[in-house]
Structure 1
Amino acid sequence: MLARHATTQDDVRTARRGLILYLGLVLLGSVPLLSLIIRASTPIGQQLEYVLALMWVPALASGIARVANGEGFEDLSFRLRERTVAVRVLLAILFPVVVGAIAYGTAWGLGLVEFSTPAGAPNPISAFAGELLLAATVGAVVGVISAAGEEIGWRGYMNSRLVEAGVPAPIITGGVLWGCWHVPLILTGQYAAGRSRALSAASFVVVAVSLTVLWSAWTLETGSIWPAILGHSAWNAVIQGPFDTFSSGALATTWVGESGVLVVVATLIVALVLVWDRVPGTLGVGQTPSD
């Protein structure tokens, strides 16, 4: 299972030690890599070697914390061959497609953002559909290479420790922490930054909390980390891929992109609709499934 109940004070203390150790290791491993990325002053897409290493810091930190804190790996499950897991994985992959269709479709339809076609594409609609299909399939699978690094740490370790440690609103807190981890690169304009970097950072944190609630609900429900991993990889592939690629205009980053107003609103609404009946349990109030 991916979440355990802290039944004794020893369990609570163990969870708190693990949480402190994990967050400390994430900070220790992230700062040097963030410094290298920021000093380069180029978009993160041009620094894939550093970005990939950064995305695997949470997984490495969680592994060290598990061993050092004597917790083991029994609560980290990669079960996939179960109907419930497969259904949630499919929903996780389709989620960014739905969010993108609502947010970017609205922006294009209202003329807030221009639907731009890459040079050489004879049919804009066909080109976009093909890119979207490729992103939601091949892109989502390839993206596991990087997304797994984050999800093994954030959803696979930190979230359950926040619950066990008795942290108020643990999943929301986890979403805020995860979102803030991205903030330095947003404030430097190298990732998901709009005209106002401070507003983009705040907006991105809202998106991060929404995604954390969604992926945590499915992770706790299935007992598998795969919905979070493939949900994360599909989000990156779909939103950062075809939807961003086919959008342009002076105010594009205000309305769309990972910190755009319409994306923030669509992500929050669709996520709540999908897990509304499971929100109490996702926030650490209800019971979680076990193997």
Structure 2
Amino acid sequence: MTEIEPVAPETPSPSEPVPARADEARKGLLVFFALVALGSGIFQGLLLRSPKPMEAHPWLVYGLMWVPGLASIVCRLVLREGFRDVSFRVGGRAGWKSMGLAWVGPLVLGSVAYGLAWATGLAQFEIPALAEAGLSSLAPPMRFAVLVGLSMTLVSFLSLFSAAGEEIGWRGYLLTRLIEAEVPRPVLASGLIWGAWHLPLLLGGKYPSGPNRPLAAVVLVFTAAGLSFVLAWMRLSTGSVWPAIVLHAAWNAVIQGTFDVSTREPSIWVGETGLLVAAAALAVAWLLARKAYEARRTPGEAPFATIPGLAG
């Protein structure tokens, strides 16, 4: 991956000792978790009670995805933390590079994981007819190309709003507060929390889970943990939440909107709960964590050595 110059985390002022900063971060985390639990319980409860699939309730899904972001905003206002560290700026050249990687990353990862599954017969490749769009007469390769193009452009763009709701909360607030609160392995912790947040809907049969729901629950948490390293790297190395938002939006659009719909039936190998997708995400996470660990042991490797929480 391209090395990106890091943006150093905000340094506590002399009047704010590090222990006090950690205590404030822990207080923020407690309020954040309480608000996320309350808001998520409401939206997930409504979705679970409905006899219809999640797709029939887009506004409930949007509301749920904005729970972490709104919770972080309330924390910043009520606890008077301010918004200086949320980093809505692009982050200069480094930010644009990171957003480019974020945009194409899901397509590359999906091509490897799904391509392997399709080629080996672990999953069946089947292009949707796209009859609603009047494209059913096109040859399957052309239909797949159209699907990829739409997912990478229009669908990814439309997904930015909902993805922003999660990333403003998870990477814009939770991750940084875990680091400031001196929680061990904050990047991993943020990924496990993010993954667990999806489990009520998955175990309740509303989230795509494949043929083995208990296995899917475990695999989803591993996938989220792996992706959290990439999202954290982009967030912390650029000082901006935009790369994480772009990656989250592109992931939802490409993995769910292209590769999942081009697979004949649910499988334990592909999808967000698929073993091959989880393995690919964890492989990227391992490479980043190893690079960060080696950078800390090697003088001059600033792009990774100064990113807090990535290797520990």
Task: Tell me the TM-score normalized by structure 1.
Answer: 0.92
Superposed CA offset, 1:36-68 (max 9, x none): 000013332221110000000111100111111
CA RMSD of aligned residues (A): 2.1
Q: Which residue of 1 aligns with 2:115?
A: 105
Where structure 1 has 5 or more consecutive residues not aligned to the other structure, the ranges are: none
Task: Kindly indicate whether residue 284 of structure 2 is the aligned counterpart of residue 270 of structure 1.
Answer: yes
AA paired with 2:270? V
Q: Which residue of 1 aligns with 2:224?
A: 208
How do 1:255-266 and structure 2 match up within 5 A?
255-266=269-280
Q: Which residue of 1 aligns with 2:215?
A: 199
Task: Tell me the TM-score normalized by structure 2.
Answer: 0.86
Distance 1:124 1:176, change over 3 A: same
Distance 1:39 1:3, change over 3 A: farther
Superposed CA offset, 1:98-149 (max 9, x none): 1110111011111121111222253111111121122112221110110000
User: Looking at CA atoms only, which structure, 1 or 2, has the larger radius of gyration?
Assistant: 2
Deviation of the 1:150 alpha carbon: 0.3
SS where residue 121 of structure 2 aligns? Answer: coil
Q: Which residue of 2 aligns with 1:39?
A: 49
Deviation of the 1:80 alpha carbon: 2.0
Deviates more, 1:40-49 or 1:209-218: 40-49
AA paired with 1:155? R
Percent of residue pairs bearing the same amino acid type = 41
Deviates more, 1:217-226 or 1:73-82: 73-82
Q: Which residue of 1 aligns with 2:98?
A: 88
Deviates more, 1:240-249 or 1:36-45: 36-45
Task: Kindly indicate whether residue 194 of structure 2 is the aligned counterpart of residue 175 of structure 1.
Answer: no
AA paired with 2:19? Q
Output the CA distance in 2 between the equivalents of 1:134 and 1:279: 38
Q: Which residue of 1 aligns with 2:299?
A: none
Distance 1:31 1:51, change over 3 A: same
SS where residue 113 of structure 1 aligns? Answer: coil
Is this contact kept in 1: 2:91–2:239, CA < 8 A? no
Task: Kindly indicate whether residue 243 of structure 2 is the aligned counterpart of residue 217 of structure 1.
Answer: no
Output the CA distance in 1 between the equivalents of 2:8 and 2:196: 23
Deviation of the 1:177 alpha carbon: 0.5
